[in-house]
Amino acid sequence: MKTSTVDTLIWVLIYGGLLGVGLGLSVQRSDDALGTTVIVIGGAIAALGFALIYVRSRMKDTPQPSDKTTP
């Protein structure tokens, strides 16, 4: 998988998960069980995004053909 794809996936998971946590906190006021479920799922998605930061840090950057300079 390309590093740019992982970078994009990281931010989508983090922001999507945190949005889910916020939504769950809002829903929890009217339905406790549903709100808690949405919070847990959103937190798990955000945690997956944070875990991908570690995976991305271990990936080697491969130079793109346009990055090569000719002497």
pLDDT in tens, 9-51: 999 999 999 999 999 999 999 999 999 999 999 999 999 999 9
From residue 49, give the alpha-carbon distance in Å to each of 4, 29, 71.
14, 27, 40
Average pLDDT over residues 49-63: 89
> Per-residue pLDDT for 66 more than 70?
no
DSSP 71: -
Question: Looking at residue 68, what DSSP letter applies?
Answer: -
